[in-house]
Amino acid sequence: MVQEGDYLAIFNSAHRVMKAESILKSRGLPILLIPAPRQLLTDCGLALRFSPEIRDEVMRILEQEQLLPAFVSRFVGGSYLNAQDLAGDT
């Protein structure tokens, strides 16, 4: 379900993640609402999956909509890494 390099946006509530999904899909972005992996601690149990190619656009839109996720992780080498720790990574 999650492929190498994919990003996961984790939100604090199901309402916020579904609102983010709706906004991003309405703009034609190829994102997917998925169950959050167990390795990631999440209150709502859901995550938005998206590719590195659209990361900047996704984050820009979510910031404009005042709907930033609690955190973003990237799947690298079989582990979920905090995207903030991957500065300059695309």
Segment 16-23 shows an average pLDDT of 97
Closest to 31 in 3D by CA, of 63, 9, 60: 9
Residue 83: its H or E element: none
How far apart are the C-alpha atoms of 48 and 61, rounded to whole Å?
14
In the chain, what percentage of residues exceed pLDDT 90? 77
Q: What pLDDT, in 10s, does the model give residues 3-14?
A: 999 999 999 999
Task: Walk me through the domains of the chain, giving residue ranges and CATH numbers.
Answer: 7-67 (3.30.70.1530)
- DSSP string spanning 11-77? -SSHHHHHHHHHHHHHTT---EEEEPPTTS--SSSEEEEE-GGGHHHHHHHHHHTT---SEEEEEET
Segment 19-37 shows an average pLDDT of 96
